Amino acid sequence: MPPRSHFVVPPEGIMTTRILIADDHLPVRMGLRHLLEHHPGWEVCGEAVDGRDAIQKNRELQPDVIVIDFLMPRANGLEAAHEIAKTSPQVPILLYTMYLSDQLMDQAKKAGISGAVSKSDVGEVVHGVEAVLRHQHFFTHPQ
């Protein structure tokens, strides 16, 4: 984990938003962590390497929001989201995938996912997290 000295510290009195990242590729997790922790008031509380790990880490860490990949071993993002929604329906989930399509977005909504962003549009991740934290749906158009 990189030193926290360069991260933005939220103003006093602002609650920290805890984010769980689930992706089977370390460089993606590192990039997301870097992007998300530069947002004032946000911290990545944990990382999961597959769908089953995401379910377990959700139970252990109780994040405020989850950013999850679609294609992962041991349960894909939709399967993991479906299980997480059963035990933590209050936790919004943002799907972050290279395989965004209208069909996948429909399946994501049925699995309890609040939003979806294409990995080709990394800049939209922050907007997506902001939206789902406000209990708004955020589904970008497939590219």
pLDDT given for residue 14 in this prediction:
65
**Which CATH number is 113's domain given?**
3.40.50.2300
Number of domains in the chain: 1
Please report the DSSP string for 51-83 in residue order. HHHHHHHHHHH--SEEEE-SS-SSS-HHHHHHH
pLDDT given for residue 110 in this prediction:
93
Listed residue (35, 57, 47, 44) closest to 16, CA to CA? 44
Between CA 128 and CA 57 the distance in angstroms is 21
Beta bridge partners of 22: 48, 68
pLDDT given for residue 8 in this prediction:
45
Task: Tell me the two tokens of residue 2.
Answer: 């990189």
pLDDT given for residue 12 in this prediction:
59
Listed residue (35, 31, 38) closest to 10, CA to CA? 38
pLDDT given for residue 97 in this prediction:
92
Instruction: Establish if 12 belongs to a structural domain.
Output: no
Instruction: Establish if 86 belongs to a structural domain.
Output: yes
| Rounded average pLDDT per 10-residue block, the chain, 143 residues | 42 80 97 95 97 98 97 94 96 94 92 94 93 94 68
Instruction: Establish if 69 belongs to a structural domain.
Output: yes
Instruction: Establish if 87 belongs to a structural domain.
Output: yes
Instruction: Establish if 37 belongs to a structural domain.
Output: yes
Structural domain for 47, as ranges: 33-97+104-139
pLDDT given for residue 119 in this prediction:
92
Instruction: Establish if 25 belongs to a structural domain.
Output: no
Residue 135, Ramachandran bin (φ over 0: left; ψ between -120 and 50: alpha; else beta): left
Instruction: Establish if 2 belongs to a structural domain.
Output: no
Between CA 88 and CA 81 the distance in angstroms is 10
